[in-house]
Amino acid sequence: MKLHQSSNQQYQTVSGYFPGGVEINGQPFDYSLLVLPESAPRPWPVSRFEDLSLEHFEQLAAEQPDVVILGTGERQRFVHPRLTTPLTAKQVGVECMDTNAACRTYNILMGEGRKALLALIIEKP
């Protein structure tokens, strides 16, 4: 599904999503990634939701976001609170939702000027 007609290269915006991937400013990605408004998307070494570890959330905390939007794939899943400790210790909220909802929410928060971190898990079939 396309979310925007044109891309805005100043900020990293989710311009669409499709089964097995997303588009950031018109560029398709078919692997898990981290997206921040003012820096290029980066690969995130998470191939399955079940593989999430404390180290993954420490990596997210190091980015110093206002909020983390975690896209958990085709369906919404919730992480155990012990994994999000590095973020909650810094008073950073973590919202878990399916990938499509995560993409839409990220765009809204980013558009409001928030330093939202979109962490997407793109699972291979």
Domains in the chain and their CATH numbers?
Answer: 31-120 (3.40.1230.10)
CA distance linking residue 13 with residue 3, whole number of Å = 9
pTM: 0.91
**HEC per residue, 9-30:** CCCCCEEEEECCEEEECCEEEC
* Rounded percentage of the chain residues whose pLDDT exceeds 70: 93
pLDDT tens digits, one per residue of 69-82:
999 999 999 999 99
Given a cut of 70, whether residue 8 has pLDDT beyond it is no
pLDDT tens digits, one per residue of 75-124:
999 999 999 999 999 999 999 999 999 999 999 999 999 999 999 999 98
DSSP for 89-109, written as a single string: TTT-EEEEE-HHHHHHHHHHH
Given a cut of 80, whether residue 125 has pLDDT beyond it is no
* Rounded percentage of the chain residues whose pLDDT exceeds 90: 89
The pLDDT value recorded for residue 99 is 95
Bigger pLDDT: 6 or 21? 21
CA distance linking residue 32 with residue 46, whole number of Å = 6
Bigger pLDDT: 40 or 7? 40
The pLDDT value recorded for residue 71 is 98
Q: What are phi and psi of 18, to 5 degrees?
A: -150, 165
The pLDDT value recorded for residue 9 is 57
CA 87 vs. chain centroid, Å, equals 14
